[in-house]
């Protein structure tokens, strides 16, 4: 069982590194130059050590010709090593910045393009954790790991070759710690991977909790939950600290063992060199060479062994990124056709839903069941029903955010038909239940849906929702700050602002999900009347729990607990007892 687990872990790590190699190929030329600099630095380092031997022997023997040649060689090699090190650091800085930005851009694009239902299983805080922390780890791996592995391996080979040339026993002593690294490698890889994964998962929980708490700070304060949330956050950070300390403890123990082994090997080499010098079998220069080169040999071997934790850390980060980028992406495949049909939509659009059934993957229960509906241009449809019956889900199916388990949904435009997908969202404007405003000015938030809108157009849509006087009264006018999620707007103002943004989009179909729930009846009536009058061919689909909305609708349908959509002739929302 243990061997099978180790094989599984190694296969997983290999699969993750194959994914990383896909990114490495993009920068192979620059990485090759980086590797070349690392190789030169290794050659210069070993060469400088050998030159030092001849310098010391020349000093002791009084051979001035060899002395000056050896001194020049040592100085030249040291200067060249410094220059190559500086160039290598510059390449690292340029490449790491480039790779980090490009990888972060690509991962962000993959995440936001992923299918809504699938990517929605991850908390936004955890997505940020992977987008920042794991991308940084993988970037470091792409830039540093392979070049470091090449340079350290070459240093080891060159050092071993020099020691082997001068003294085979010394070469044997320098490799005394090798068996330990070989036999312990599987345990180290498994343990490091477990610690890495646990640590990053806990960090994701901390980020998710803090993000949610800050977004809902008003509620936390209103219900006097500050101490409770502070205590919960402290518990999470304490759990994270415990995981990190366990990992650090393991690292310290591993480093201590490696250092102890390195010390034993160094003293063994040192003792052998003294014995050889005592018996006048080697010169002082050769002894110095032995000590320096054995240190390099042991150090490079330990460095190669220490790459295992980095390799595991990088692969763990890659695996976590792969997990959020494996989902099928929205492609906007029908974009050109959708845009061409939208240009012909002056006569209105017809929505055609036939036998649509939908169930969420994590429940398996049908939220929508066999819904068949046709909505003509200019119709205003109200969808009523108890909370949780599937009204919002129905709107998300129309938006192409969710895909029916069975059935078919399409739009008819100018005698042509196009299936509902991510490409047909441009036919819709949407006002969700959530307060989805961004930090910035009123104008910036409105122009998100129409960047070239003039100030007059903005004031026109604000007038439709009865907010023009409010904006005009502000000293900054359209440039007034609305705050994150409309933090400095009332709930009613926020809803009207969201409706204004949807109207500005100019789409032929408008979806209003409980969009007037915070408005007083008079304001609600004026806003809905203005929207209808502004574009009589626009389809308006509303979800609501208020009878006052129904007077503005041409049809009313009830979303039942079974997920069926049934027409209501009397345009009155059923009471719970009647359902």
pTM score, two decimals?
0.73
Residue 569: count other Cβ atoms within 10 Å of its Cβ: 7
Per-residue pLDDT at 244 exceeds 50: yes
Q: Are strands 366-375 and 350-359 parallel, antiparallel or unpaired?
A: antiparallel
Residue spans of alpha helices (H) in 122-177: 124-129, 135-140, 146-166, 168-174
pLDDT band at 578 (very low <50, low <70, confident <90, very high): very low
112-129 pLDDT tens trace: 888 887 887 787 778 888
Q: Are residues 152 and 62 in the same domain?
A: yes
Q: Which of 304, 325, 346 corresponds to the end of one domain?
A: 325
217 and 156 co-located in one domain: yes
Q: Which of 508, 502, 506, 504 is nearest to 345 (CA)?
A: 508
The model's confidence at residue 183, banded by pLDDT at 50, 70 and 90, is low
Q: Which of 261, 296, 325 is the last residue of a domain?
A: 325
Determine the Cα–Cα distance for residues 100 and 32; give it in Å rounded to an integer: 18
- Same domain membership, residue 354 and residue 209: no
Percent of the chain with pLDDT over 70: 91
What is the domain count for the chain? 2
Q: Are residues 33 and 127 in the same domain?
A: yes
Side-by-side strand order, sheet with 565-567: 428-431, 509-513, 539-543, 380-384, 555-559, 565-567
Round the CA-based radius of gyration of the chain to a whole number and report it: 34
- Claim to verify: residue 298 and residue 317 sit in the same structural domain: yes
Confidence class of residue 577 from pLDDT cuts 50, 70 and 90?
very low
Which pair of tokens denotes residue 405? 């388990």
Query: Beta strands 428-431 and 416-419: pairing type?
Result: unpaired
Classify residue 574: in a domain, yes or no. Answer: no
Residue 145 has pLDDT above 90, yes or no: no
| Domain containing residue 26 | 2-325
Q: What is the mean pLDDT of residues 407-433?
A: 93
CATH no. for residue 454?
Answer: 3.40.50.300
Q: Is residue 358 part of a domain?
A: yes
193 lies in some domain: yes
pLDDT band with cut points at 50, 70 and 90 for residue 406: very high
Tokens of 410: 């399409």
Q: What is the pLDDT of residues 498-543, one digit of tens each?
A: 999 999 999 999 999 999 888 898 999 999 999 999 999 999 999 9
User: Among 290, 325, 360, which residue terminates a domain?
Assistant: 325
Q: Are 151 and 42 in contact (CB under 8 A)?
A: yes
CA end-to-end span of the chain, whole Å?
Answer: 56
Q: Do 363 and 405 reside in the same domain of the chain?
A: yes
Q: Which residue has the tokens 């780890």?
A: 137
% helix / strand / coil in the chain, to the nearest 5? 65, 10, 20
Is position 182 within any domain? yes
């Amino acid at each position: 069982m243990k061997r099978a687990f180790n094989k599984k872990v190694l296969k997983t790590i290999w699969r993750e590194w194959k994914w990383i190699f896909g990114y490495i190929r993009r920068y192979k030329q620059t990485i090759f130059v980086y590797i070349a600099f690392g190789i030169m630095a290794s050659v210069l380092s070993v060469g400088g050590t050998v030159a030092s031997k001849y310098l010391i022997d020349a000093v002791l023997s009084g051979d001035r010709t060899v002395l000056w040649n050896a001194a020049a060689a040592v100085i030249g090699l040291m200067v060249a090593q410094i220059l190559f090190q500086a160039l290598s650091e510059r390449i690292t800085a340029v490449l790491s910045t480039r790779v980090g930005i490009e990888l972060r851009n690509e991962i962000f694009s993959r995440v936001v393009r992923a299918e809504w239902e699938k990517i929605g299983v991850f908390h936004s805080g955890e997505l940020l954790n992977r987008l920042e922390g794991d991308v940084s780890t993988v970037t470091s791996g792409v830039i540093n790991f392979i070049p470091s592995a090449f340079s350290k391996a070459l240093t080891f080979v060159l050092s071993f070759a020099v020691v082997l040339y001068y003294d085979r026993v010394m070469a044997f002593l320098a490799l005394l710690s090798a068996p330990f690294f070989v036999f312990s490698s599987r345990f180290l890889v498994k343990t490091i991977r477990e610690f890495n994964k646990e640590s990053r998962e806990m960090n994701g929980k901390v980020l998710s909790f803090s993000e949610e708490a800050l977004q809902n700070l008003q509620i936390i304060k209103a219900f006097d939950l500050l101490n409770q949330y502070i205590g919960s956050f402290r518990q999470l950070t304490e759990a994270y600290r415990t995981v990190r300390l366990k990992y650090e403890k393991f690292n310290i123990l591993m480093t201590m063992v490696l250092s102890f082994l390195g010390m034993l090997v160094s003293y063994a080499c040192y003792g052998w060199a003294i014995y050889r010098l005592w018996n006048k079998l080697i010169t002082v220069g050769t002894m110095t060479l032995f000590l320096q080169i054995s240190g390099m040999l042991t150090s490079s071997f330990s460095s190669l062994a220490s790459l295992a934790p980095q390799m595991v850390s990088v692969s763990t980060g890659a695996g976590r990124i792969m997990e959020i980028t494996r989902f099928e992406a929205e492609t906007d495949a029908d974009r050109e056709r959708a845009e061409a049909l939208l240009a012909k939509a002056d006569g209105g659009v017809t929505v055609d839903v036939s036998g649509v059934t939908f169930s969420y993957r994590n429940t398996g229960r049908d939220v929508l069941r066999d819904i068949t509906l046709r909505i003509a241009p200019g119709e205003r449809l109200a969808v009523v029903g108890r909370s949780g019956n599937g009204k919002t889900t129905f709107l998300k199916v129309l938006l192409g955010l969710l895909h029916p388990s069975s059935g078919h949904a399409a739009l008819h435009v100018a005698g042509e038909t196009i299936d509902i997908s991510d490409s047909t969202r441009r036919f819709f404007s949407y006002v969700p239940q959530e307060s989805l405003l961004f930090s910035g000015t009123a104008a910036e938030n409105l122009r998100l849906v129409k960047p070239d809108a003039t100030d007059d157009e903005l004031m026109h849509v604000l007038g439709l929702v009865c907010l023009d006087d409010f904006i005009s009264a502000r000293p900054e006018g359209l440039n007034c700050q609305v705050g994150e999620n409309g933090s400095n707007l009332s709930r009613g103002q926020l809803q009207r602002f969201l409706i204004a943004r949807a109207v500005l989009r100019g789409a032929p179909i408008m979806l209003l999900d409980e969009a007037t729930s915070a408005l007083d009846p008079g304001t609600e009536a004026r806003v809905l009347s203005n929207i209808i009058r502004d574009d009589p061919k626009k389809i308006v689909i509303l979800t609501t729990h208020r009878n006052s909305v129904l007077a503005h609708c041409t049809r009313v349908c009830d979303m039942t607990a079974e997920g069926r959509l049934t027409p209501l002739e009397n345009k009155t929302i059923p009471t719970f007892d009647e359902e």
